[in-house]
């Protein structure tokens, strides 16, 4: 079995011509990009998502001409009813597809990558707003430092201190952009009274507020991407941009924390930037 593809870079000067066919619902783009030649991308194909199927992931280096091939590592019996494709560059995630079906006779998978200029980020107030209904005590203070979101508070004589590692999400759930994992914690039994008493329970509620598709954080992120698409060179109206995002894949390649910051949970208007994502828009969303 041989599965082939290519990696292509949408240029800033060609972005308008590339995305126009997608916006008007025409054929796949045919201009506005160049082949990713002499760039050390890695392509990974993962298959086997049904009960009873072995999950197999294989990785191949993208060739100097920007093409890639999965062949000898895939035995003829490999299940391809559901597969996922991802790309990385020097261990930095650059693209992820939805799960899709592929066959021996399918044409090569051409991936197109575009990096819009997004300078805005997620603010302290926006995080506070996202955590407003988690059940944390009113005197909770939040902090952001080097990829960690810290939470400290007290209630009814009990103390809570924990941090959450915030990284880019590389799963193939394309509505998730950031990944959250519980780090150090010290939560006494019985706290908080109106939340789960376990650290994992607190994290679950915070994840629901910051990580799910309809969370405040994700809505903010999508809004910033739509805003970026509305600026040159694309100048796409907001409603059109929303439809465009349904056809592409969004991958954060990096998430930076501009400065160490501490603020009260109660402050939902603090405009200090806490996290700034570097965004890669990939097309297509699936094959």
pLDDT digits (tens, 9 = 90+) for 168-205: 999 999 988 888 887 777 766 454 455 444 566 666 77
Q: In which band, very low, low, confident or very high, does the pLDDT at 106 lie, cut at 50, 70 and 90?
A: low
Question: Percent of the chain beyond pLDDT 70?
Answer: 83
pLDDT digits (tens, 9 = 90+) for 108-143: 899 999 998 877 788 899 888 878 877 777 888 999
> What is the C-alpha separation between 24 and 8, in angstroms, rounded?
21
pLDDT averaged over every residue in the chain:
84
pLDDT digits (tens, 9 = 90+) for 137-152: 788 899 999 899 998 8
pLDDT at 277 over 70: yes
The Cβ of residue 38 has, within 10 Å, a number of other Cβ atoms equal to: 10
Q: What are the structural domain ranges in the chain?
A: 3-114, 122-279
Region 6-35 average pLDDT: 92
Q: 164-169: long-range contacts at Cβ-Cβ below 8 A with a sequence spacing of 24 or more?
A: 164/203, 164/206, 166/255, 166/275, 167/255, 168/93, 168/251, 168/252, 168/253, 168/254, 168/255, 168/277, 169/211, 169/252
Global pTM? 0.86
């Amino acid at each position: 079995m041989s599965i082939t593809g290519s990696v292509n870079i949408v240029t800033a000067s060609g972005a308008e011509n590339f995305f126009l066919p997608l916006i008007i619902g025409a054929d796949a783009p045919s201009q506005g990009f160049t082949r990713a030649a002499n760039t050390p991308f890695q392509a990974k194909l993962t298959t086997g998502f049904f009960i009873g199927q072995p999950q197999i992931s294989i990785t191949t280096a993208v060739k100097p001409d920007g093409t890639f091939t999965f062949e000898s590592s895939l035995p003829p019996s490999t299940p391809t009813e559901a597969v996922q494709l991802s790309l990385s560059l020097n261990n930095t995630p650059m693209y992820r597809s939805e799960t899709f079906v592929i066959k021996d006779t399918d044409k090569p998978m051409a991936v197109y990558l575009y990096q819009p200029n997004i300078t805005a980020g997620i603010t302290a107030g926006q995080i506070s707003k996202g955590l407003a209904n988690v059940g944390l005590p009113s005197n909770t203070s939040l902090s952001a430092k080097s990829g960690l979101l810290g939470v400290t508070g007290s209630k009814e004589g009990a103390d809570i201190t924990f941090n959450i590692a915030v990284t880019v999400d590389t799963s193939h759930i394309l509505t998730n952009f950031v990944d959250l994992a519980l780090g150090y914690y010290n939560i006494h039994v019985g706290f908080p009274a109106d939340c789960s008493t376990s650290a994992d329970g607190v994290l679950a509620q915070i994840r629901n507020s910051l990580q799910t598709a309809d969370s405040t954080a994700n809505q903010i992120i999508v809004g910033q991407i739509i805003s970026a698409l509305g600026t040159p060179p694309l100048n796409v109206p907001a409603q059109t941009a929303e439809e465009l995002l349904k056809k592409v894949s969004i991958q954060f390649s990096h998430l930076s924390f501009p400065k160490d910051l501490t603020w009260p949970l109660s402050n939902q208007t603090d405009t200090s930037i806490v996290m700034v994502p570097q965004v890669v828009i990939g097309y297509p969303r699936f094959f």
